[in-house]
Amino acid sequence: MESKTFYLKYRPQKVSDLDLTDVRENLQKILKSQKVPHAFLFSGPKGTGKTSAARIIAKTINCPHKKENDEPCNKCDICQEITSGSAMDLIEIDAASNRGIDDIRSLREKIKLSPARCQYKVYIIDEVHMLTTEAFNALLKTLEEPPAHAVFILCTTEAHKLPKTIISRCLQIKFRKSKPEELVHSLERVVKGEKLNLEKGVLESIAKEADGSFRDGQKILDQLATGQEKISLIESEKLLGQIEELKPEKLLVFIAQKEAKKALLEIDRIVNFGADLDVYLQNLLEKLRLIRLPWK
């Protein structure tokens, strides 16, 4: 059985696990009020815990054995199904690949059906800003008159691209880049769980390179821990230097400037560097998705 990456293995499973202090406190207040909004909007940079928080809400409002502190038990069938992503009443939609009006119309039809097992059907729409205008209009109609058993959680890295009519019908919670101490605290949970042996200063150097992203920080730690009995500061700085060298920004600038020769030389440099081209391509596509290029 393939082992999970640190980011998946140590994903927050309850509200108190969330490392962004203001987000954690806001969600605790909302869930303790017992008044569940029919629509949330989670906005902020990538890797800051938006989808994890969305799944935690899905568990919290549906857990039949919810604790006194409004935390899911994480042991019942419903909690475990939501954690694994197999719950029928948790519907996750990637708007980046499901942008059409037909997808939202299908959602509007299915939303009328009662939940299979849970009290609430929870719809998580990731990168919701990628929906077309027509799809937004269809989604708006659903948000205006949602069935009592439906809760929407819209997640986006670019909230400014959402229509104001959509934003006005959601309870917005803004996620920010993590502070270094918050990221270190997140990494310490992994270190403890994996019983990792590392030198002083390693986590701080990772936190600096991760640029406020919990996901990126845990990915870097995962790379460092592979085949290592002890993670030294020298080894971590070496890897972090390589990560810096392999960032796709150089290639994107050459392409934007129509410098074909320089772009080809940069690709040649990346290949000769021995980079994992699949990872490099994923990073490049992520950048293309999140930034506005000069020719737009």
Q: Which of 96, 50, 85 is nearest to 286 (CA)?
A: 96
Mean pLDDT of the chain: 87
- 113-139 residue pLDDT tens: 999 999 999 999 999 999 989 899 989
Between these two residues, 81 and 238, which has the higher pLDDT value? 81
- 5-60 residue pLDDT tens: 898 999 999 999 999 999 999 999 999 887 889 999 999 999 999 999 999 999 99
pLDDT-derived band at 282 (thresholds 50, 70, 90) equals confident
- 173-220 residue pLDDT tens: 999 999 999 999 999 999 999 999 999 999 998 998 888 999 989 988
Tell me the β-bridge partners of 231: 198
Report the pLDDT averaged over residues 90-100.
82
Q: List alpha helices for 71-210, DSSP H.
A: 77-84, 101-110, 133-144, 164-168, 180-194, 202-210
Architecture of domain 6-174: 3-Layer(aba) Sandwich (3.40)
The pLDDT of residue 1: 38
pLDDT-derived band at 296 (thresholds 50, 70, 90) equals very low
Of 97-101, 179-183, 206-210, 229-233, minimum mean pLDDT range: 97-101
The pLDDT of residue 70: 81
Instruction: Kindly tell me the burial class for residue 34, based on how many C-beta atoms sit within 10 Å of its own C-beta (0-12, 13-18, 19 or more).
Output: exposed
CATH number of 179-245: 1.10.8.60
Look up residue 197 and give its two tokens: 């042996």
The overall pTM is greater than 0.85: no
Domain boundaries, the chain: 6-174, 179-245, 247-296
The pLDDT of residue 209: 82
3-class secondary-structure state, position 7: helix
* Ordered strands of the 150-156 beta sheet: 90-94, 121-126, 150-156, 39-43, 171-174
* Nearest-angstrom CA–CA distance, 96 and 116: 27
The pLDDT of residue 3: 58
The pLDDT of residue 231: 87
Between these two residues, 23 and 224, which has the higher pLDDT value? 23
* Nearest-angstrom CA–CA distance, 251 and 231: 31
pLDDT-derived band at 295 (thresholds 50, 70, 90) equals very low
* Nearest-angstrom CA–CA distance, 136 and 99: 9
Instruction: Kindly tell me the burial class for residue 235, based on how many C-beta atoms sit within 10 Å of its own C-beta (0-12, 13-18, 19 or more).
Output: middle
Of 100-109, 142-151, 153-162, minimum mean pLDDT range: 100-109
The owner of tokens 């104001």 is: 164
